[in-house]
């Protein structure tokens, strides 16, 4: 609902959730949007024990998805186009990092493919390419807003029993789960904190694509 940039706002009680003990307001803030979204995507991907999950798009949503996947015990692969992010992604919990060139799907296939792919990228080309890296019976869960129509290889879709799924914020239990993981220190967002007086600076950095992960506006010290 509107009012999130105000110092005070009204909200329905049914739309609120308690922040667990030990979790700061700053770290909790991204969990109510990015964290909630990727946790629902993870659960809607229906990963099974022993399956391999890959995260495509390692920005504000993806870096949390990476940690959430690792926290629930899945083998987790980070797929990035930036080689200089490798050490950072390993520190976030990636079991392996695939540095993709012009063909993201081919790079992931060469690395063994994935049973579940959480895609947070907005690139329709990358989403379509990643779909081709799914293993037999694999599921790609799209969490981004593609910049154009998706063109999926229907042969890979049919013959491999693969699935393309969409997801956003779903069950309230997903929000509870990601907040619990964050409170336990298993998921920690990378954030830039700005006081309310600098909110326009934060917006400018976001619009310019300079925000590496997530920004939090701090309404009071």
Please report the domains of the chain, with CATH numbers, ordered by start residue: 30-166 (3.40.50.720), 190-221 (no CATH)
**Quick one: angle between helices 34-44 and 172-183, nearest 10?**
110
Taken in order 15, 20, 24, 27, the sign of the CA dihedral is: negative
Which helix (H) or strand (E) segment holds residue 57: the answer is none
122-163 tens-digit pLDDT: 999 999 999 999 999 999 999 999 999 988 888 888 888 999
Residue 65: phi, psi to the nearest 5? Answer: -60, -40
Say if residue 15's pLDDT is above 90: no
d(CA 195, CA 116): 38
d(CA 139, CA 114): 9
Distance between alpha carbon 39 and the CA centroid of its chain, in Å? 8
Check: CB of residue 93 under 8 Å from CB of residue 85: no
Say if residue 10's pLDDT is above 70: yes
Of residues 100 and 40, which shows the higher confidence score?
40
Average pLDDT over residues 13-20: 91
Say if residue 191's pLDDT is above 80: yes
Q: Which pLDDT score is estimated for 155?
A: 86
Whether the model pTM is above 0.85: yes
Taken in order 31, 69, 176, 25, the sign of the CA dihedral is: negative
């Amino acid at each position: 609902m509107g009012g999130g940039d105000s110092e005070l706002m009204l909200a329905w009680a049914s739309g609120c959730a308690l922040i667990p003990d030990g979790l700061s307001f700053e770290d909790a803030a991204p969990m109510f949007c990015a964290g909630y979204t990727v946790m629902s995507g993870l659960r809607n991907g229906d990963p099974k024990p022993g399956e391999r999950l890959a995260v495509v798009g390692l920005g504000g949503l993806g870096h949390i998805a990476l940690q959430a996947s690792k926290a629930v015990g899945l083998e987790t692969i980070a797929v990035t186009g930036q080689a200089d992010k490798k050490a950072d992604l390993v520190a976030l919990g990636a079991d392996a990092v695939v540095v993709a060139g012009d063909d993201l799907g081919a790079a992931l296939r060469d690395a063994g493919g994935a049973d579940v792919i959480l895609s947070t990228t907005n690139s329709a080309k990358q989403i379509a390419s990643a779909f081709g890296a799914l293993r037999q019976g694999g599921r790609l869960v799209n969490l981004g807003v593609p910049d154009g129509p998706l063109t999926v290889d229907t042969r890979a879709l049919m013959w491999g029993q693969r699935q393309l799924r969409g997801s956003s914020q779903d069950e309230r239990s997903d929000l509870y789960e990601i907040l619990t993981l964050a409170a336990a220190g298993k998921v920690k967002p990378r954030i830039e904190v700005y006081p309310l007086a600098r909110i326009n600076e934060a917006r400018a950095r976001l619009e310019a694509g300079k925000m590496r992960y997530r920004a939090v506006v701090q309404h009071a010290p």
